[in-house]
């Protein structure tokens, strides 16, 4: 499986504050990478560094095997972007957007755009600036899916959507990734969305990646265990992902429950639990 996006040892700081530390993960073709983290954890900064809206301090970012996106702008034809707070021109209607984007994207597919606008039931003659947050997200997603992109970078794109719209959007994303050579990196606070469509999980906390794993593997092999200090010393250090202390006990996230010493009971994990644990663990 080739990688659409490769991030290696990405580092960024603002003044003294380090906001990204050695961030590394890939988005393989055919994958939907769920990018999870608290507000301010570094998700949007990672995306901005990938899109070269900000300069990275060190590390490499390769899109479709190439670096320097600002010099290889043609690559952006293959990237669909939906950002929470980075939006389409507010005074334009959907009709006008179509007329503009056909000039901006060589690969613009007006029929696909029209189809998505219909599916999402968006008004064609209203200014997009007057749209609700959910409608804004839907029109941004429609644009991202209408220029034959291969990689979607979606930052909180399902936020503000009502349940039926979310279903529609997730279905469209699912269909998109089934196409040959396509992939998605999706940040979201809505764990049910990530659990439903992601194939890979990347969790970031305070600018550091705390988990980077295939989702199925996480649910198959990972587990929480509650241990006292003595039991903790018996544990194979290689399988410890993170631990948290609760009084005399430790809750430990392990990467392979098969390697637990006998007598230690593994607890099943949920998406919500693993997210909360890894975005706030010591």
**Rounded distance, CA 239 to CA 277, Å?**
16
When the beta carbons of 52 and 193 are compared against other proteins, the nearer one is 52
In the complex with other proteins, the residue whose CB is nearer, 79 or 142, is 79
The distance of closest approach from Cβ of residue 54 to other proteins in the complex, given in angstroms and rounded to an integer, is 4
252 in Cβ contact with 278 (< 8 Å): no
Secondary structure element (H or E) that encloses residue 205, with its range: strand 200-205
Part of the chain binding other proteins (CB under 8 A), chosen from 34-42, 46-54, 187-195, 255-263: 46-54
The two beta strands, 183-187 and 32-36, are parallel
Within 48-107, the residues that bind other proteins by CB under 8 A are: 48, 51-55, 70, 73-77, 79, 81, 83, 85-92, 96, 99-106
With respect to other proteins, which residue has the nearer C-beta, 37 or 224? Answer: 37
Tell how strand 3-14 and strand 58-63 pair up.
Answer: antiparallel
**Does 192 interact with other proteins (rule: CB under 8 A)?**
no
Nearer residue to other proteins within complex by CB, 134 or 240: 134
CB of 150 to other proteins, least distance (A): 13
**Whole-number Å distance between alpha carbons of 50 and 251:** 34
* Cα–Cα distance measured from residue 118 to residue 276, given in angstroms and rounded to the nearest whole number: 37
**Which positions from 1 through 20 interact with other proteins, judged by CB under 8 A?**
14
Restricting to residues 128-187, which ones interact with other proteins according to CB under 8 A?
129
Q: How far is the CB of 99 from other proteins (least distance, A)?
A: 7
Residue 97 to residue 124: CA distance in whole angstroms: 10
Q: How far apart are CA 137 and CA 168, in angstroms?
A: 12
CB of 17 to other proteins, least distance (A): 12
In 176-195, which positions are buried (b, 16+ CB within 10 angstroms) versus exposed (e)? bbeeeebbbbbbbeebebbb
Nearer residue to other proteins within complex by CB, 92 or 264: 92
User: Quick one: tokens of 85?
Assistant: 């707070």
Number of residues that bind other proteins (CB under 8 A): 34
Q: Which of the residues 226 through 245 are near other proteins (CB under 8 A)?
A: none
CB-nearer residue toward other proteins: 105 or 219:
105
**Pairing verdict, β 32-36 and 200-205:** parallel
Tell me whether residue 153 or residue 278 sits nearer to other proteins (CB atom): 153
Pairing status of strand 208-214 against strand 200-205: antiparallel
CA dihedral angle for residue 240, residue 241, residue 245, residue 249, rounded to 10 degrees: -40
Minimum distance between the CB of residue 70 and other proteins, rounded to whole angstroms? 7
In the complex, what is the shortest distance from the CB of residue 153 to other proteins, in angstroms, rounded to a whole number?
A: 8
Interacting residue ranges for other proteins, rule: CB under 8 A: 14, 48, 51-55, 70, 73-77, 79, 81, 83, 85-92, 96, 99-106, 129
């Amino acid at each position: 499986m080739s990688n659409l996006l490769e991030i290696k040892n990405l580092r960024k700081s603002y003044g003294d504050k380090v906001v990204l530390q050695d961030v590394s993960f890939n988005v393989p073709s055919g994958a939907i990478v769920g990018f999870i983290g608290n507000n301010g954890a570094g998700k949007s900064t990672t995306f901005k560094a990938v899109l070269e809206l900000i300069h990275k301090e060190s590390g490499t970012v390769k899109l479709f095997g190439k670096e320097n996106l600002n010099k290889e702008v043609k690559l952006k034809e293959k990237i669909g972007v939906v950002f929470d707070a980075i939006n389409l021109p507010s005074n334009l209607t959907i009709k006008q957007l179509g007329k503009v984007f056909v000039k901006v994207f060589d690969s613009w597919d007006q029929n696909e755009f029209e189809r998505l606008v219909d599916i999402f039931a968006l008004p064609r003659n209203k200014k997009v600036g007057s749209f609700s947050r959910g409608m804004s997200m839907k029109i941004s997603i429609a644009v991202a899916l209408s220029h034959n992109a291969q990689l979607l970078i979606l930052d909180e794109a399902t936020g503000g959507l009502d349940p039926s719209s979310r279903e529609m959007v997730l279905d469209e994303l699912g269909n998109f990734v089934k196409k040959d050579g396509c992939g998605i990196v999706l940040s979201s606070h809505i764990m049910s969305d990530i659990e439903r469509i992601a194939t890979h999980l990347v969790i970031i906390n305070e600018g550091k990646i705390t988990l980077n794993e295939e989702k199925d593997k996480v649910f198959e092999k990972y587990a929480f265990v509650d241990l006292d200090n003595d039991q903790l010393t018996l544990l194979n250090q290689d399988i410890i992902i993170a631990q948290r202390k609760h009084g005399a006990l430790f809750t430990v996230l392990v990467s392979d429950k098969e390697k637990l010493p006998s007598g230690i009971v593994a607890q099943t994990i949920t998406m919500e639990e693993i997210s909360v644990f890894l975005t706030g663990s010591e």
